[in-house]
Amino acid sequence: MPVRALAIPFAAAVLGGGVTAAVLLGTGAAGDGETTTIVEQAPLDSSVPATESRAPGLTARDIYRRAAPGVVFVRARSVQASQSPFEVFPRQQENVASGSGFVLDEKGHILTNAHVVASSTDVRVSFSDRRTVSARVIGKDPDTDLAVLSVGTKGLALRPLELGDSASVRVGDPIVAIGNPFGLERTLTTGVVSALQRRLTAPTGFAIEDVIQTDAALNPGNSGGPLLDATGRVIGVNSQIATGDGASGSVGIGFAVPAATVRRVLPELESVGRVRRPFLGIRGRAAQDGVLVESVPPGTPAARAGLRGGDREALDQRDGSVVVLGGDVLTRIGGRPVADMDDVHSLLGKRRPGQRVALELERDGRKLTVSAELGERPGTAAAE
């Protein structure tokens, strides 16, 4: 099932963000013996009935009223040169994408997805009071698909949303998503956390870890909008959806970058505009005793440390893929065992460029340890 990012070219007409809240219908016995219908807003905290003595969880209506003013509509223009073989000069083609975002603080910082503002030359942000202002991209991290925008605060009544604790989220927890699907401003959808610790592929080809899966309806244009828990705090940034064959809309499988990831990358995005990540420089696959190193591109930290890639190809009988044999088997990084490239990615992610790390290898039946100075990850996933 293909996974799609949620930004779309801005084609749909912008309509008001009308929301119809769900209600809970019940019956109660009146004093005169008649039956009275009671209509009350269903609390999102499904584990606590509204009739209990302690205060119930916030309703979807409550959360929308509090959070919707902090959700923005992002429009990003980009210019792409295209040239036909029958033309002498290239043509400039303008693209307009729309997505969502939300206010981070009263300094005018706004969070959205990196793919919403990718290669943009002009970004504009619309608020709930219909004001539209120009925005500047001050930080972008395609590896986590997050970007920070900055707007001038004069004349704006900013309503920041609070980041929650995505580590405490559990499957089955009720959630709310607010965004601008198909250009329909500040649309609310509800659902639950469907799964945790999913892995997505970022625009650069690297993996985004610990992603939250939800069944709340997400559609093109929801990109960058908040996924909120029952207290109204942001636990994730809506980023991608899974679609069926030939479909482009929601099939009930959406994915959000967790708030923990936002907290980790936000300081660097706001201060230096990008996130520096460590890089070793190998391609490999899971083997019996560790990670079989298939290739080591020249000039990488792994090459400088003396790691060797394979020199002959074979067919993997399990899946028919081509395996490159003859290279080192990486067994440990910094004393921690590795079983596949996901382990390599995870262990390297805890370090910084310029740090040295001990690599334990098996080569031609011998065990050896080498030291590598980590570099900075390049822009695309050629190797890890």
Structural domains of the chain ordered from first start: 1-275 (2.40.10.120), 278-376 (2.30.42.10)
Which stretches does DSSP call E strand in 64-186? 71-82, 91-103, 109-112, 122-126, 132-141, 146-150, 174-179
- Within 10 A of 140 (CB to CB), how many other CB atoms are there? 23
**According to the model, what pLDDT value does residue 96 have?**
83
Dihedral through CA 47, CA 52, CA 57, CA 61, nearest 10?
A: 110
Q: What is the pLDDT of residues 101-153, one digit of tens each?
A: 999 999 999 999 999 998 888 999 999 888 999 999 999 999 889 999 999 98
pTM above 0.85, yes or no: no
Mean pLDDT of all residues in 304-317: 84
Catalytic residue among 100, 109, 115, 143: 115
Residue-wise burial string across 323-355, b where 16 or more C-beta atoms lie within 10 A, e elsewhere: bbeebbbbbbbeeeebeebebbbebbbebeeee
Catalytic residue among 141, 145, 173, 215: 145
Tell me if residue 223 is catalytic. yes
Tell me if residue 109 is catalytic. no
Q: Which tokens in the block code for residue 186? A: 């500040």
Tell me if residue 115 is catalytic. yes
Average pLDDT in the chain = 80
**Closest by Cα among 114, 117, 110, 123 to 159:** 110
Catalytic residue among 98, 120, 126, 223: 223
Of 335 and 91, which is predicted with more confidence? 335
User: Does position 330 have pLDDT exceeding 90, yes or no?
Assistant: yes
The distance from CA 81 to its chain's CA centroid, rounded to whole angstroms, is: 29
Q: Which tokens in the block code for residue 117? A: 């503002």
Confidence of residue 91 (pLDDT cuts 50, 70, 90): low
